[in-house]
Amino acid sequence: MILATLATVLVACGGEPEKGTDTAQQPHLVIGGEDAQATASSHYQMPTPNELFAIVREMAGEGQKRMMNPAVNADRYVSLPARALNFGVYSTDLVYASYFKLNVEVVRYYLAVKKLGDKVGIASAFSDNDFVRLEANLTRGNNDSLEILSNDAYYKAYLKLQEEDMGPTLALVLAGGWVESMHLVMRQVVTFDPQSPLISRVADQKVSLEHLLDLMEQHKADPNIVTWRNKLIAIRDQFDRLDIKRVPHSGKSASGRMVLGDDVVVSLTSEQYDQISKAVEQLRDEIIRTEDQASIKPNA
């Protein structure tokens, strides 16, 4: 996504809040929404993948299933961290498949997400009725409804993780989703164009990455979180080299109100883009690597 969007994760990162901790003061996740910017500072805004995919579809026209993590790999993640991270990856792939009308893949990835959801402790987020609706709309060729149902599954998973106070797991899920979103978007770029809206959105992902790292910082006592946070920090270091400028905001907000303050403009060169892309691909390879190390062919 790129930006935006989301993602998912887990691992042996469960656990209850420390005694004496005021959970009301702990950061919560805000998934997109027009009013997201008006939320309290204790909330983290993580855009959803479809926000980013909308630009990809407008520019490229179609999705490529070979870029997604093969659904058959879902059974081959056995540790909690791998299952949580790839729950985020598959959730993102599900939204991608529905957005680009890869209808057969929508069912495959829904089942993969459900399977990993069961294993990370949020089985109740996926009902038999939801799957029946998915199949019915697939049969009817109702692509718009498939997209809505896929997004619903995505949101239900996040809400369930929040409701169950599965903070470390949610952090890993978001990490997997963020990396997969970046991967899917950046692989759509054939020729680097600094004026491209897609390149601009990639640069903007520095902000969502910072929010993700802040969220993971809240669970630094968990060794699984520390490991993957450090890997994401290496990508953040690449973003830190980008040129960032503040320019006076012009115009009004979507609601018609005047906006005070500056706009933050992040730009990057072709070389910087290649470095970020390489770092993202290396981390994604680590995340989706199956734990039995057997060879699996990518989606045809």
Q: How do residues 109-164 score in pLDDT, each as one tens digit?
A: 988 998 998 898 877 667 667 666 766 766 665 555 555 666 666 677 777 777 76
Is the pLDDT at 237 greater than 80, yes or no? yes
Contact 280, 179 (CB under 8 A): yes
pLDDT of 232 strictly over 90: yes
pLDDT at 27 over 60: no
C-alpha 201/C-alpha 40 separation (Å) is: 24
**Residues 6+ away with beta carbon under 8 Å from 169:** 9, 10, 11, 13, 14, 80, 84, 120, 121, 161
| DSSP per residue, 119-158 | HHT-GGGS-HHHHHHHHHHHHHT-HHHHHHHHHHHHHHHH
In terms of Cα–Cα distance, which of 101, 100, 6, 106 is closest to 54?
100
What confidence score (pLDDT) does residue 85 get?
Answer: 95
Give pLDDT, residue 71: 96
Lowest mean pLDDT among 14-23, 256-265, 271-280: 14-23
The pLDDT of residue 121 is 83
Nearest 10 degrees: Cα torsion 213, 216, 221, 223:
-90
**Token pair recorded at residue 43:** 């909330």
272 pLDDT exceeds 70?
A: yes
d(CA 14, CA 32): 25
Q: Give the model's pLDDT for residue 138.
A: 63
In this model, does residue 11 exceed pLDDT 80? no
C-beta of residue 120 within 8 angstroms of C-beta of residue 87: yes
Name residues whose C-beta falls within 8 Å of residue 245's C-beta, 6 or more positions apart in sequence. 264, 265, 267
Residue 244 pairs in a beta bridge with 266
**Would you say how long the chain is, in residues?**
300
The pLDDT of residue 165 is 73
| Short-list 281, 295, 258, CA closest to 73 | 295
Top-confidence residue, 35 or 12: 35
Pick the range with the lowest mean pLDDT from 57-61, 64-68, 165-169. Answer: 57-61
* Mean pLDDT of the 76-97 span: 92
Extract the tokens encoding 24.
């009301």
Q: Where are the domains of the chain?
A: 23-288
Residue 172 pLDDT: 92
Asked whether the predicted pLDDT for residue 76 surpasses 90, the reply is: yes
The model carries a pTM of 0.75
Q: Pick the closest to residue 216 from 226, 204, 206 (CA basis).
A: 226
Mean pLDDT across the chain: 74
Q: Give the per-residue pLDDT at 41.
A: 31
The residues facing 264 across adjacent strands are 246
